[in-house]
A and B are shown apart, each in its own frame.
Chain A
Amino acid sequence: MSIFPPKERLWWNEPIERSEVLWIGLAFVWAMIMFAMMPFWHLSGGQNLSNEAYRVVPEAYGQKVEAAAAKYKVGEDKASGLPIVRPPVGGDAYMLGRTYEWWPILELVKGQSYRLHLSSMDMMHGFSLQPVNINIQVHPDYEHVLTLTPTTSGEFTIVCNEFCGIGHHVMTGKIRVVDK
């Protein structure tokens, strides 16, 4: 019994039940398949998070985002007053998170790739793009660069899904994806 010392002193010499051997074999094969899936998806899948990241001082990052916004601004959102920025196709798109907004609004073209830069000016934030449901952690002091290709068009909301303070639940942003 499991609450007493094993009856057989040399318990490691006991034979193993056949059902156990079979199950261990099955479970081991399944473990190896699962382990192989992640590298496999890196080679042939379309959804892998980039590992490209740089240390960055928040103020310096903020200046980069503002410079890009000034250069590629195409309008202003009436409700929020946020600039709408249309980065060059294939080029760099910058976004920052700070308590409690995502800045600026980006306008992307469906089917085109962008190098999206993400960082935070203060707390940790959660970039959660809805309703497509892409979730990426955004740190201060780290600039994360990923290549993103929207495959659907419309208006998408960025919700903050890392607790960042008392106004966390009003922290939203937008990405618009246009067909052309």
Chain B
Amino acid sequence: MTATNEFRVCPDTGFRVHLPAEALMKVNAVAAVVFLLIGGIFGLLVALTRWPAVHLLPADLFYMALTAHGTDILLVWVIFFEVAVLYFASSVLLNCRLATPKLAWLAFALMMIGALFANYVIVIGQASVMFTSYVPMRAHPLFYLGLILFAVGALIACGVFFGTLVIAKRERTYEGSIPLVTFGAMVAAIIAVFTIASGAVILIPTLLWSVGIVSYIDPLLYKVIWWGMGHSSQQINVSAQIAIWYAIAAILFGAKPLSEKVSRGAFLLYILFLQIASAHHLLVEPGLSSEYKIWNTSYAMYLAVLASMIHGLTVPGAIEAAQRKKGYNKGLFEWLRKAPWGNPVFSGMFLSLVLFGFLGGITGVTMGVEQINLIIHNTIYVVGHFHGTVAVGTTLAFMAVSYFVVPFLWQKELVMPGLAKWQPYLFGIGMGFVAVFQMGAGTLGVPRRHWDMSFADAVLKFDFSAAAYLMMALAGIFSVIGSIGALAYILIMVGTILFGEPKRAAAKAPAPAQPSAAESVRHGSAGTLEVPGTFVLALVFLTTFVLYYYVNWKYLSELWLMK
């Protein structure tokens, strides 16, 4: 059915690569990196304005840059990259041709046109409404149109992914069940469909409202449905990044999941529950009942949080098991100490795992408590939280996997390997501290999306504490460090694509060949903990979680009384 000359075999990894799929992965990955650069520059401008001593941009440009930063990073960069991941997880991992490459190109074109429309109209100052564009604030119609086109493109890309799964099944390109990584990507794609449907339901009427055809949009209704898109789109990231964690564990260590059943079950919980929780953004709104808020904000009794905690154990657990099998068996942590910390694929992935859990996960659940949200809502704490998820979680995971994927797709050697070694640390630690200090400032009440925390031009003045200023300054300093890390990533990727040496025959990356039957036999002895190191780390995480959670209840209990 498919011409063999449409495939090449990767000499390093043994994967058969469908050439039309390869071209599509390349353009989507390149588009992603370009928008990371654009969005990153806007982010740095925002950070340098919120650093009180620098206060770089004037107010109008600040709100413009903030809108662009949110749109380009939260939407454009991650979704372009995820489309590349979807094509990889279906076509490459299932050894299958990509369904309808022509439609995939159409998807790419729509996403690109949409992203350019949105960026154009933001940059000319006609859409400084923030990424969330809450009605009744009105942007230029091209802004909503751009987002809709982008979303339609992404929806088509999801369709191409599902189509490829069907073809692979029908043409029997694999045996048994789809790989866990493909399963995780499928979960991301399912959540994406839900997300895009929510986006369509609210953005199409809003577009009509912006041109005067629809006369009124209820502000509360807008927020409820918009966050069905806005929050769920971040759950696409979570699923995609966890699939990438599993993939990297397999590629670098030959790790197999501790048990397929548990890992897939956890992903299944994501499908069932992760796309709710739009109420995280609605906890202090009028007009919604506490019952709805509690059920929705807890992802139906925290079952999606349970799933994330399971992945938090099984991903490092799989690595530990693989390392122990290779003989790194001394004590609790030899497997971790002897891990390839100088390889950016590993260091980026492991930092992403740890930082996402501690900085993004714990804080997200805590501020998502109906009552605790009263002391956090719309402060810069929220911004700190999602830099803990999207920057040091998702973006760092995507960076890590790029060090494998880009040389693989372009058949080039990585340039600047010395810089690459340090890049995940620069970005991870830089942005990690940005998150920490933003959360610190938010605890002291500093608002998000705010040009001047000194209220110099306000009639009624207010002075934030010196500690709040210090936190904002530190967040500014660390965002410069994080930006250098992001820039290093972009330089290495662009450099590799443009100037990289053709790949040498000798495989440098460990080949992820199918393990022999003997290797896949279970190791360790029944009845003992097989991954004790990971279990100890998990207990440290749980302890931190419990303490942090109750410290915030304590803060809340000191507040004025409300009922």
Contact = CB atoms under 8 A, between A and B. Distances in A.
Contacts, number: 328
Interface residues of A, number: 92
B547 interface: no
Given A37-B369, A144-B286, A157-B462, A27 B298 contact: no
Interface in A132-172: 132-144, 146-152, 157, 159-166, 168-172
A63 to B, nearest CB: 19
A82 B560 CA distance: 25
Contacts of A20: 258-259, 262, 310, 313-314, 317
Given A18-B527, A18-B529, A1 B250 contact: yes
A159 B140 CA distance: 28
Nearest to A108: B560
B115 interface: no
Contact of A170 (B177, B264, B457, B559): B457
Contacts of A51: 288-290
A5 B515 CA distance: 12
Instruction: State the majority secondary structure of interface residues on A.
Output: mixed
B459 A172 contact: yes
Interface stretch (A7-15, A66-74, A90-98): A7-15
Given A5-B177, A134-B559, A37 B553 contact: yes
A110 B175 CA distance: 72
B385 interface: no
Interface in A67-107: 77, 79-80, 82, 101
B93 interface: yes
Nearest to A32: B301
Given A34-B298, A137-B286, A166 B63 contact: yes
Contacts of B349: none
Contact of A135 (B175, B376, B560): B376
Interface stretch (B130-138, B386-394, B483-491): B130-138
Contacts of B6: none
A172 B261 contact: no
Given A2-B246, A137-B286, A163-B63, A35 B531 contact: no
A31 B457 contact: no
Interface stretch (B141-149, B330-338, B407-415, B442-450): B442-450
Interface of A: 1-9, 11-12, 14-20, 22-24, 26-28, 30-32, 34-35, 37-39, 41-42, 45-51, 53, 77, 79-80, 82, 101, 113, 118, 122-124, 126, 128, 130-144, 146-152, 157, 159-166, 168-174
Given A3-B181, A82-B460, 8 more contacts: A1-B512, A19-B529, A20-B310, A49-B374, A124-B134, A134-B559, A139-B220, A161-B449
11 contacts: A2-B263, A31-B301, A31-B302, A35-B302, A38-B369, A134-B562, A137-B377, A142-B220, A144-B286, A161-B379, A161-B448
